[in-house]
């Protein structure tokens, strides 16, 4: 049965072969083959690689292992080793004081690290030196007094430890020195590095090497007023600027604004601290600005208008300075200003004391000890540490994103910035560990942070990462439809012709 069915088909095929052979010359048949072959070659040898090349997403190879290692072991290679120069004024000679104190200090730090609450997150230590100190070094003077005590100089890095002859006899001097160094001179610094204190302080701004300070005099009325802000800044504020210059650079402006009214429902109502956030109307006053690419802190001296003066404070009117976390500070005066009054520099002095105190809080400096230099050193060293952490965070975020968004390109500039960041990190560690040059280390750590942010915020890395299937079809269909269908049908024809010829040959 089957053979009977096939036979006419075979005949049919043979006839068709004949038909084809007679309809066209052999030459044109072979030309068609070459045409099809060359189109196929074009498709696969040029078209396909070109398509792959053009749709390829460049992804620079980031040093992922190293960054992951850094992220897993934060600041493992950073050593913060402080030095204190001991001066003995009374001509007494303690041959083994250095060794015995060092043992005590090491033990104390070891004890801290054993306690899960007190644990330090960085390799911190302090060494005593007995040679001649430089001008900016920590000095500990030993003086005989009529009792044991410590005096920390409020304006230089000098601490005096008073001891008695009996404390020498009982061999307590190393203990006293250890206590002084760890719990008085470097107490704030150690507190910064304790694991339990790693919660972010919401009042302070994130460290930035540049900060803009904007001093504003605001009054509720339109009567002309003036303040001797230039003089006050020159006289009172200049030392602060100089003291801070290795930590932050300040840019300063000042402004007087009139007709800035309080959002009071009823002027006779008592003003409580809680109301303050609604009474003070920053958006109406239009005093916030983002003009600088570094943080701005605002210091506002506010005088109410005559219609609401005197303000009814529920709190002590001498405590009229208020801190707005990460924004700035406001001093709210009770009485309005008389028209044409000029605030001279002496009237501004107590105000500047308050502003300075708030500034120090806003920059995140510790409260103790009194000595500004020591507090500044503490935050400086801590900023180096946090800069490295923030920088490493940025880099590892970049890494995570590059993994989770495979369609996002990673240009060469990103790789370069990552490398620069890692280089700057290396320099930071070098300056901190070997040279103990904290200023240099801070500068380098700032660079690390800057480069890592540049890498993360690279403008090339914006791409619509998701394309729905319909979109792809919409793009490729015009291309595939008219062109490819013709080509592929041609190929099918050639193939079927070859088959027919092969059949006809035997």
Partner 1 sequence: MLVSFSSIIRLLCAFLFLSPALALENESGDSDPRHTNNWAVLVSTSRFWFNYRHMANVLSMYRTVKRLGIPDSQIILMLSDDVACNSRNLFPGSVFNNQDRAIDLYGESIEVDYRGNEVTVENFIRLLTDRWGPDHPRSKRLLTDENSNIFIYMTGHGGNEFLKFQDAEEISAWDIADAFEQMHEKKRYNEIFFMIDTCQANTMYTKFYSPNILACGSSEFEESSYSHHSDVEIGVAVIDRFTYYNLEFSEKIERNSTLTLQDLFDFYTFDKIHSHAGVRTDLYNRDPSKVLITDFFGNVQSAVADEIEDDILYLLNHKEEEEETSNTASNTTTSSDNVTRVKNVDSSTINQYGANVINIKDTPTENNYAKYIVLASLGAIFLKTILK
Residues 175-194 that bind partner 1 (CB under 8 A): 175-176, 179-180, 184
Beta carbon nearer to partner 1, 290 or 340:
290
- Of the candidate residues 393, 439, 450, 497, the single one contacting partner 1 (CB under 8 A): 393
Task: Identify any residues that bridge with 260 across adjacent strands, giving them in sequence order.
Answer: none
Q: 269: how many CB neighbours lie within 10 A of its CB?
A: 13
Size, binding site for partner 1 by CB under 8 A: 95
**Binders of partner 1 among 257-276, rule CB under 8 A?**
263, 273, 275-276
Beta carbon nearer to partner 1, 162 or 488:
162
CA separation for the pair 405, 417 (Å, rounded): 20
**Binders of partner 1 among 21-80, rule CB under 8 A?**
none
Tell me if 162 contacts partner 1 by CB under 8 A: yes
Closest distance to partner 1 from the beta carbon of 464 (Å)? 6
Tell me if 2 contacts partner 1 by CB under 8 A: no
Tell me if 135 contacts partner 1 by CB under 8 A: no
Tokens linked to 419: 């490398």
Buried b (16+ CB within 10 A) or exposed e, 143-182: eeeeeeebebbeeebbbbbbbbeebeeeeebbebbbbbbb
Tell me if 278 contacts partner 1 by CB under 8 A: yes
| Residue 50, phi-psi category: left (phi > 0), alpha (psi -120 to 50), beta (remainder) | alpha
**Residue 360 near residue 205, CB atoms below 8 Å:** no
Nearest CA to 433 among 127, 193, 77, 74? Answer: 77
**Binders of partner 1 among 287-346, rule CB under 8 A?**
288-293, 315, 319, 321-327, 330
Q: Which stretch binds partner 1 (CB under 8 A): 28-36, 65-73, 137-145, 476-484?
A: 137-145
Beta carbon nearer to partner 1, 104 or 431:
104
Answer whether the bond into residue 175 is a cis peptide, omega within 30°.
no
User: In the stretch 204-243, what mask flags binding to partner 1 with x, by CB under 8 A?
Assistant: --x----------------------------xxx-xx--x
Q: Which stretch binds partner 1 (CB under 8 A): 199-207, 420-428, 433-441, 475-483?
A: 199-207
CA separation for the pair 348, 226 (Å, rounded): 12
| Residue 342, phi-psi category: left (phi > 0), alpha (psi -120 to 50), beta (remainder) | beta
**Binders of partner 1 among 447-506, rule CB under 8 A?**
456-459, 461-462, 464-466, 468
**Binders of partner 1 among 353-382, rule CB under 8 A?**
353-354, 356-358, 360-361, 367, 370, 372
CA separation for the pair 117, 152 (Å, rounded): 27
């Amino acid at each position: 049965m089957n053979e009977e069915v096939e036979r006419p088909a075979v005949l049919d095929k043979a006839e068709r072969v004949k038909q084809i052979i007679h309809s066209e010359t052999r030459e044109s048949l072979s030309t068609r083959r070459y045409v099809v072959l060359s189109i196929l070659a074009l498709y696969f040898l040029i078209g396909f690689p070109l398509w792959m090349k053009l749709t390829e997403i460049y992804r620079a190879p980031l040093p992922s292992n190293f960054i992951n290692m850094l992220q897993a072991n934060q600041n493992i290679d950073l050593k913060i080793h402080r030095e204190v120069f001991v001066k003995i004024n009374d001509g007494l000679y303690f041959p083994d004081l250095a060794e015995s104190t060092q043992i005590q200090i090491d033990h104390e730090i070891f004890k801290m690290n054993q306690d899960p609450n007190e644990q330090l997150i960085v390799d911190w230590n302090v060494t005593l030196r007995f040679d001649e100190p430089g001008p900016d070094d920590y000095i500990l003077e030993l003086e005989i007094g009529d009792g044991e005590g410590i005096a920390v100089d409020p304006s230089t890095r000098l601490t005096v430890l008073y001891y008695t002859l009996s404390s020498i006899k009982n061999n307590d001097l190393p203990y006293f020195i250890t206590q002084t160094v760890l719990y008085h001179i470097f107490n704030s610094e150690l507190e910064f590095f304790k694991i339990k204190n790693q919660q972010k302080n919401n009042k302070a701004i994130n460290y930035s090497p540049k900060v803009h300070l904007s001093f504003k005099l605001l009054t509720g009325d339109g009567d002309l007023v003036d303040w001797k802000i230039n003089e006050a800044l020159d006289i009172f504020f200049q030392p602060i600027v100089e003291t801070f210059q290795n930590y932050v650079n300040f840019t300063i402006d000042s402004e007087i604004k009139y007709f800035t009214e309080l959002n009071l429902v009823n002027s006779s109502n008592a003003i409580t601290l809680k109301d303050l956030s609604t009474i003070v109307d920053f958006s109406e006053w239009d005093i916030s600005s983002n003009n600088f690419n570094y943080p701005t802190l605002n210091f506002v001296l506010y005088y109410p208008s005559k219609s609401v003066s005197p303000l009814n404070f529920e709190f002590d009117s001498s405590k009229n300075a208020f801190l707005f976390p990460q924004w700035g500070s406001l001093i709210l005066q009770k009485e309005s200003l008389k028209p044409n009054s000029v605030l001279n520099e002496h009237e501004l002095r107590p105000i500047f004391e308050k502003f300075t105190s708030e500034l120090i809080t806003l920059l995140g400096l510790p409260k103790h000890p009194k000595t500004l230099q020591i507090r500044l050193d503490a935050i400086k060293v801590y900023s180096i540490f946090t800069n490295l952490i923030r920088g490493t965070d940025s880099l590892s975020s970049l890494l995570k994103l590059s993994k989770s968004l495979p369609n996002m390109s990673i240009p060469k500039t990103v790789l370069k910035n990552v490398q620069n960041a890692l280089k700057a990190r290396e320099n930071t560690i070098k300056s901190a560990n070997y040279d103990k040059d904290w200023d240099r280390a801070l500068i380098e750590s700032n660079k690390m942070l800057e480069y890592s942010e540049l890498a993360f915020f690279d403008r090339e890395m914006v791409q619509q990462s998701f394309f729905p299937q319909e979109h792809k079809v919409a793009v490729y269909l015009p291309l595939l439809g008219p062109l490819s269908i013709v080509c592929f049908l041609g190929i099918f024809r050639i193939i079927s012709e070859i088959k027919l010829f092969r059949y006809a040959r035997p």
